[in-house]
Structure formats: structure tokens, C-alpha cells
Amino acid sequence: MERAETTETTETAKRAKRAVQGTAGTLGGRIALVAGATRGAGRAMAVELGRAGATVYVTGRTTREHVSEVGRSTETIEETAELVDAAAGVAGRGIAVPTDHLEPAQVRALVARIDREQGRLDLLVNDLWGGDVHLDFTTEKQPDLWEMDLDKGLRIMRLGIESHLVTSHCVLPLLVRNPGGLLVEVTDGTEEYNRRYRKPLFYDLAKAAPIRMAYDLGEELKEHGCTAVCVTPGWLRSEAMLDTAFHVTEENWRDACEHVPHFAISETPTYVGRALVALAADPDVARWNGRSLSSGGLAQEYGFTDVDGSAPDAWRYLTEVEAQGKPADVTGYR
């Protein structure tokens, strides 16, 4: 038993070392598509993939000529592609392709372009969302289903679930062409955490669905030598979270903890980007097939950190501290 545990620990350490030390060229030659890369986790994932040497197609609805219903004109897919290029140097590359993933014709055109230009796809990241604009989390009590605006609720379903289904349906035939492909569904919350009701109902369904999609598609993809997982960041310090929800910047984000003390467990989008790179670089990534994973959990597995050198484990903290009504204390959680 001791010998087996030592071997397993050694292998884990080796995987962590490869993921952390090999970042600059770990994914050289890989072709990735980050669907929903305009801002937040999607943007950071695209940038970190580029930094690791991948060619990254980045899609979204907000461009320098058109703003989506999210209404944030300062974040565009063109800028994301430029950030990928800047991070990648001569290794990777960012390619912006305006795409509404609720329009199958547009997604099929995207796939045809990737096939034409690259001949394959190694990684699909389904980070499609945009539903926050139809929700109001500032109210103390969230509405019951029958109290919600039905049109807004159904729009949330389309943005958070249908877009993922359309994208996977159109893109996976290219991904499974070669063994080793990886599909990453992105959501908010782990499978364990999302067993509780995260009101309102439409939001709860939108965030639970990608976890199930990863499990189901993992069953289908493994027959083709490919893998599907679901990944969640923790409490994400996205652009919108910082300036809209807390009215702070990344430089002074800790000021927000005076009003919301548990925000101390939050993390930068780069953290989940590094989690994605570690997964994509793992030659044994199939061991995670169908699983629900988090940035904090993967940091423990692979040994990467957030930009400040910490390793926040947000979902464990939110379960063991915030949900239990304990005072904010991130000791032992980052």
C-alpha cells in the first residue's frame, strides 16, 4: 500500500511539474477554439492557451463594430485576440471570429474555416453565457419561477444551454477526427455545490446543465479517444464583477472586502486559464473524463497558482465558511 501511494504521489508531482514548468511551449502546435472569449474567464483562458503556444480561435458577439445585449462595448473579441498575440509572442496566435453561437449557420461557418485553415481542432472550450444582464442579484430575495419575466427566463436558457448544444453539435465532428481531443464545458459552481438550489430557477438550470453535458458527452467522446470535462472558476474577479458589482479595479479589489468580507476568497480570471492549460497539457487528461472540476481543485493537483502566488479554493471555502455563517477567514483556503 505504501509503495502504491508513493508511486501515485510521484506521478501527480510529475504532471504538476510538466504543467507549471512547461507553460511557455506546452501547447505548441495545438489548435483551440474558445467559444465565448470576449471577457472574463473565456478571455483569460484564450490568453493562457496562447501563452502556452496554442493557436486560439476566439469567438463572441461583441466586436468593435457591434455590441451584444451584454452592453459592454469596451471588451471585444478583437481585443482578446490581440491579448493572445501579446502573450504568445512567436509561439501561439489569436484569431477573432465574430460568432453568435445560437445561430447554427454561423457556427458551421466557423468550423469550416478552422478546418480549412488548420485541418483539425484539439480543444473546444464552451464558455458561452451572457445571461447576467437578464438577472438581478442585488435584490435580497430572488423571485419564484412564476414571478419571473418568462421571456427573460427563456433567453437565459438559450444563452446558457442552447448555445452550448449548438456549438458542440457543430464542432465535435471536427474535434473527434483525431484522438486526444478535449472538450471543456465552463460553468459556475461544482457538481457538489450546485446540488443546492441556486435561485432563481433559470439561473440554476443554466449552471447545472454544463455539468451534465460534460458527463454525457464524456460517455460519447471516449469511444473516439477524446475527453469531456466541466470546469468552474471560483469567485471570479471578472471585469463586470469588479467595476459593476463592487466598483473597484483589480489593483484595489480588496477594498470590496470591507462591504463583502467573503470576497477575500476571490480569484483572477488567469487562475482558471492556468487550470485549463494544465488540463490540456496533461497526457493523462482522460482520467478526468466526465468530471466536474474547479480551478482551486486543479491547482492542488497540478501545482499552479493565481497571479499573486496564492491558490484559492473558493468552492470549499464557500461551503465550509460562508454557507455555515462563519466570519470571513481565508486562512487555509488560499
CB 293 within 8 A of CB 227: no
Q: What pLDDT sits at residue 137?
A: 86
Predicted confidence (pLDDT) at residue 207 exceeds the cutoff of 50: yes
- How distant is the alpha carbon of residue 295 from its chain centre? 9
Whether residue 24 is predicted with pLDDT greater than 80 in this model: the reply is: no
pLDDT, one tens digit per residue, over 220-231 is 999 999 999 999
Residue whose C-alpha is closest to residue 124's, from 177, 51, 69, 80: 177
Give the CA angle between residues 20, 241, 273 to the nearest 5°. 15
Distance CA(8)–CA(12), nearest Å, equals 6
Higher model confidence: residue 90 or residue 287? 287
User: Which residues make Cβ contacts (< 8 Å) with residue 187, sequence separation at least 6?
Assistant: 194, 207, 208, 209, 210, 211, 230, 231, 232
Q: Is the pLDDT of residue 25 over 90?
A: no
pLDDT in tens, 237-247: 999 999 999 99
> Grid coordinates representing 313?
479554493
Query: How confident is residue 305, by pLDDT bands cut at 50, 70 and 90?
Result: very high
% of the chain surpassing 90 pLDDT: 88
Q: Reply yes or no on whether the pLDDT at 20 is more than 80.
A: no
Structural domains of the chain sorted by starting position, each given as residue range(s) with its CATH number in brackets: 15-234+268-304 (3.40.50.720)
* Separation CA 170–CA 209 (nearest Å): 18
The confidence score (pLDDT) of residue 90 equals 73
The DSSP element (H or E) to which 78 belongs, if any, is helix 77-88
265 three-state secondary structure: helix
Average pLDDT for the chain: 93
Under a CB-based contact definition with an 8 Å cutoff, are residues 40 and 77 in contact? no
Q: How far apart are CA 55 and CA 238, in angstroms?
A: 24
The pLDDT value given to residue 23: 56
Evaluate whether 133 touches 69 at the Cβ level (below 8 Å): yes
Question: 173 vs 101, 111, 183, 196, CA distance in Å?
Answer: 16, 9, 12, 35
CB 235 within 8 A of CB 265: yes
DSSP state, residue 263:
G
pLDDT of 35 higher than 70:
yes
**Per-residue pLDDT at 12:** 46
pLDDT(85) > 60: yes
pLDDT, one tens digit per residue, over 110-126 is 999 999 999 999 999 99
